[in-house]
Amino acid sequence: MDFRLSSEQKQLRREVREFLADDPAISARPFPEDGWISGWDRGFSRRLGQKGWIGLTWPTRYGGMERSYLDRLIVTEELLRAGAPVAAHWFGDRQIGPALLAYGSNEQKHELLPRIARGELSFCVGMSEPNAGSDLAALATQARVHEDGFSIRGQKTWTSFAPLADYCYLVARTDPDSDRHQGISELLVPMGTPGISVRPIRDMVGESHFGDVFFDDVRVPRSALIGKLNRGFYQIMQQLDYERSGIERLLSNYPLWRDAKRLARERGLTRDPAFRDRLTRVEIAWHAGRGMIYRVAALLSAGQIPNHEAAVAKTFCTSLEQHIAELAAEILGPAAQLMPGDEQAPLDGRAARNLLYAPAYTIQGGTNNILRNIIATRGLGLPD
């Protein structure tokens, strides 16, 4: 296998770096971590869309560039390394677009994909419920089927971007009488539809990027259905592989790690062989994790759907991100606990913020326990 990037790919990386060096949104962010979760900037998404870097792998007739998944990985890697505010288009680019390409109607593809690629549309993902998280098939939100559409009742929770998104990609039960995994469908619901209310949830950092979403007799037409009625659960499985396998699972706190390593050198910590050994181990693990994510992109580029490979990459990389949050705090010393806004806080309190946010890395998008089950059964062939 040839691991070298082509000259076009190297050129693409240079272009993205040059674009980011000039873009005002990068320096405007108060902290560069978690750009795909807390960096909401529709203007930036539109500028990226103008460059053609959203929906990069999609057919040109839907606004894409028909480039490879490796090319997409190069773009997303540069964006997150720089701390770019990519949240407003992240879900659309990463999973809703691919889900529509795989299962959407012609009308949905023609109407929505070009707008996603232009950076104009934002989505939230309504899967989890108060009593259905890891076990998605336990979901209770109902979408009753009528001749002309659906009426939805229920509650979603932890819905990232719910207070801001244009559409909710909703997973709901359309046949209450069938087996748990059947009778589930995917719907696209405009967030402005009457009957939807959002209650923001404050996380430990004090931010409210997610929330509870309540559906009280929300009416949507038949055209809101993605793919086949009652086959949603099986359609979603592929989407989850896209959701889990990206470089955001490694680079969420990369800017903090880069700055903490610089401080470790400046403060002479790297002269201590024991500490240098620890840093080196993390650095090696970081490059191994990056290799896993490049492998997943290579599989996608070869037309394969990575499943346990995505689970391995996410489990390994998100655990490492948590370790990095702790090590960065250790490098900064006791003052690392000072929050943003405190004048004494090193790196503007980013280490404290990251320590508080880091537990989410191994939960969002499926917990590491669940992913280990996937690795065991589908990767290693162990019994269920």
Ligand X SMILES: Cc1cc2nc3c(=O)[nH]c(=O)nc-3n(C[C@H](O)[C@H](O)[C@H](O)COP(=O)(O)OP(=O)(O)OC[C@H]3O[C@@H](n4cnc5c(N)ncnc54)[C@H](O)[C@@H]3O)c2cc1C
Give 57 or 252: the residue with its C-beta nearer to ligand X: 252
How far, CA to CA in Å, does 80 sit from each of 37, 52, 247, 324? 11, 17, 8, 16
Comparing CA positions, the residue from 72, 95, 381, 69 lying closest to residue 237 is 95
* Interacting residue with ligand X among 65, 80, 198, 360 (CB under 6 A): 360
Report which DSSP code applies to 96: I
> Cβ distance 360 to 158 under 8 Å?
no
373 binds ligand X (CB under 6 A): yes
In the complex with ligand X, which residue's Cβ is closer, 142 or 367? 367
User: Which of these ranges, 177-185, 260-268, 309-317, 359-367, lies near ligand X under the rule CB under 6 A?
Assistant: 359-367
Selection from 242, 133, 143 nearest residue 195 by Cα: 143
Shortest separation between residue 137's beta carbon and ligand X, angstroms:
12
Task: From the candidates 78, 186, 243, 309, give the one annotated as an active-site residue.
Answer: 243
Mark whether 77 is an active-site residue: no
Residue 133 in the binding site for ligand X (CB under 6 A): yes
Tell the burial category of 212 from Cβ atoms under 10 Å away from its Cβ (0-12, 13-18, 19+). Answer: middle
Binding status of residue 208 toward ligand X by CB under 6 A = no
Pull the structure tokens for residue 73: 């990985």
125 near ligand X, rule: CB under 6 A: yes
Q: Closer CB to ligand X, residue 50 or residue 377?
A: 377
Among 55, 329, 364, 374, binds ligand X (CB under 6 A): 364
Residue 160 touches ligand X, criterion: CB under 6 A: yes
- Part of the chain binding ligand X (CB under 6 A), chosen from 17-25, 231-239, 280-288, 367-375: 367-375
Pull the structure tokens for residue 282: 């993390």
Tokens at residue 323, please?
């370790």
Q: Identify whether the C-beta of residue 143 lies closer than 8 Å to the C-beta of residue 226.
A: no
Residue 60, interface with ligand X (CB under 6 A)?
Answer: no
155 binds ligand X (CB under 6 A): no
Task: Report the C-alpha gap between 356 and 358 in whole angstroms.
Answer: 6
Question: Is residue 137 near ligand X by the rule CB under 6 A?
Answer: no
Which of the ranges 96-104, 279-287, 340-348, 358-366 carries the binding residues for ligand X, by CB under 6 A?
358-366
Closer to ligand X by Cβ: residue 136 or 336: 136
Residue 156 Cβ, how far from ligand X at the closest point, in Å? 6
- Residue 127 within binding range of ligand X, rule CB under 6 A: yes
The 10 Å Cβ neighbour count of residue 60 is 11
Query: Which helix (DSSP H) or strand (DSSP E) does residue 240 occupy?
Result: helix 232-244
Is residue 310 within 8 Å of 245, Cβ to Cβ? Answer: yes
Judged by CB, which is closer to ligand X: 19, or 254? 254
**160 Cβ contact partners less than 8 Å away, ≥ 6 residues apart:** 37, 91, 124, 125, 209, 210, 364
Residue 23 CB, nearest approach to ligand X (Å): 26
> Does 163 interact with ligand X (rule: CB under 6 A)?
no
Q: Among all residues, which ones are annotated catalytic?
A: 243
Q: Which residues of the shown chain bind ligand X in the complex (CB under 6 A)?
A: 124-128, 133-134, 158-160, 210, 360, 363-364, 366-367, 369-370, 373
